[in-house]
A and B are shown apart, each in its own frame.
Chain A
Amino acid sequence: MATTSPVPWPRRLPEPQIHQAHVLAVDDSLVDRKVIEALLRVSSCKVTTVDSGRRALQFLGLDDERNEGGVMTGSSSSLKVDMIVTDYSMPGMTGYELLKRIKGSSEFREVPVVIMSSENINTRIDRCLEEGAEDYLVKPVKLADVRRIKDYMMMMREDGNEGRINKRKLRDGTDPSTSLNSSSASLIGSPCSDQQVLVSEQPQSSSSSSTLSPESQPPAHPESSDSPLDNHSTSLQTSQPPPQQSVSHSCLNKLESSDPNQSTTGDQIDGSVGS
């Protein structure tokens, strides 16, 4: 564990490990969003949740219209999602339609998409897989399911897929997207890096998906003081808002345990960051 560090706040140096996967989870059910978020967080992923396909597209920068939130200023690839998990049955745009949009886009077509559904319908499953979904999870989703789908991200990463943060890039520190990606973990990414690399942003990075209660945030985070949008409605909930972007998401921590310690992976609370 790091002895002294220049980090002003005592706890939680980011994990000096590989890039923390960032998953976008789409589900119109509030309860399911909470659950999938926790499942992913516990599996060491950063999570952004949205409640509709449309919001997902907005987040990714794939929506055609200028959206009300003024989401993306930067390039959409700076958002860096490593995987998208979406419910199938949603009002408005189904998960299947969202899947098609994603696979039809140049920026995100390589991103693994997983469908979740309470219905185990073979024709539906086939259709999704044919359209390019990596997997189809029957709800209720379990930890074992999440562990399995995480592997899709790993596999893709090892391929060195374009647009994806991988270990090599991290070590080089050349991936421009990492600077926008508030995941401090990814900046520190390389396992060899020393702890003094400073995470200016959110030292407690990573897998915490609930975001930003003031006490856990360094002061320099205006995003975190976004008025929490109503959790029930529709906004985005993200673990770490990319700093440059005035994403109209809420940095919510209402319903979640308002615990000041956004732990990284729940495995390491106190920056017991190895090595």
Chain B
Amino acid sequence: MERNQLPREVALMRQSLFDQGYVDEQFVQLEELQDETNPNFVEEVATLFYKDSARLLANIDQAMDRTPLDFTKLENYMQQFKGSCSSIGAKKVKHECTQFREYCRAGSTDGCMRTFQQMKREYSALRKKLETYFQLARQAGPSNTATRPR
């Protein structure tokens, strides 16, 4: 790819993250926190999110194997997870978390299981999208990532 095409590619990709509902306005908030001293802030937060949530998700996984499901515990786990999703603007994943918690409240094992799978899919999909995006953004150079207006 031509070097001079990169900025445009980055912008397009970024836009698609929003258009396709992967991220919401909180993502923009994070972008606003990027500046010269923190040029990769969004990527760092995203990385931290994935690293940190892996543990939580593993706990949820385990809890999902129990029978019967401990809905209260699951709901609490998911509450934490949802908080992180919300903080980074992970829109679709957050939506699945909300669904999951509703199924917990309804005591629906089936609903929980389905939603959990769906949530994991969204979680992975977002990660791939973000990885690609950040990589491209880095290649394009710091001037091409959204930064806080000075």
Which A positions have Cβ atoms within 8 angstroms of B? 29-32, 34-35, 38-39, 42, 89, 118, 139-140, 142-143, 208, 232, 255-257, 259, 261-263, 266-267, 269
Contacts and interface: CB of A to CB of B under 8 A. Distances in A.
B interface secondary structure, majority:
helix
B99 interface: no
B144 interface: no
Contacts of A261: 36-37
Contact of B37 (A39, A232, A262): A262
B148 A266 contact: yes
A118 B44 CA distance: 22
Interface of B: 26, 29-30, 32-33, 35-41, 44-45, 47-49, 52-53, 79-80, 82-84, 86-89, 148, 150
Given A118-B86, A139-B83, A140-B29, A30 B48 contact: yes
Contacts of A29: 52, 80, 83-84, 87
Contacts of A30: 48, 52
Given A257-B37, A263-B35, A142 B29 contact: yes
Contacts of B30: 35, 38
Contact of B44 (A34, A89, A142): A34
Contacts of A35: 30, 33, 45, 87-88
Contacts of A32: 83-84, 87
Top 5 nearest A-B pairs (CB, nearest first) are: A263-B37, A266-B35, A38-B33, A31-B84, A140-B26
Nearest to B76: A89
Contacts of A262: 37
A256 B35 CA distance: 13
Contact of B87 (A139, A232, A256, A266): A139
A17 to B, nearest CB: 17
Given A32-B83, A118-B79, A140-B89, 4 more contacts: A31-B84, A35-B33, A259-B39, A262-B37
Contacts of B48: 30-31, 34, 255
A257 B84 contact: no
Nearest to A32: B87
A31 B33 contact: no
Contacts of B84: 29, 31-32
Contacts of B150: 267
Contact of A266 (B38, B44, B80): B38
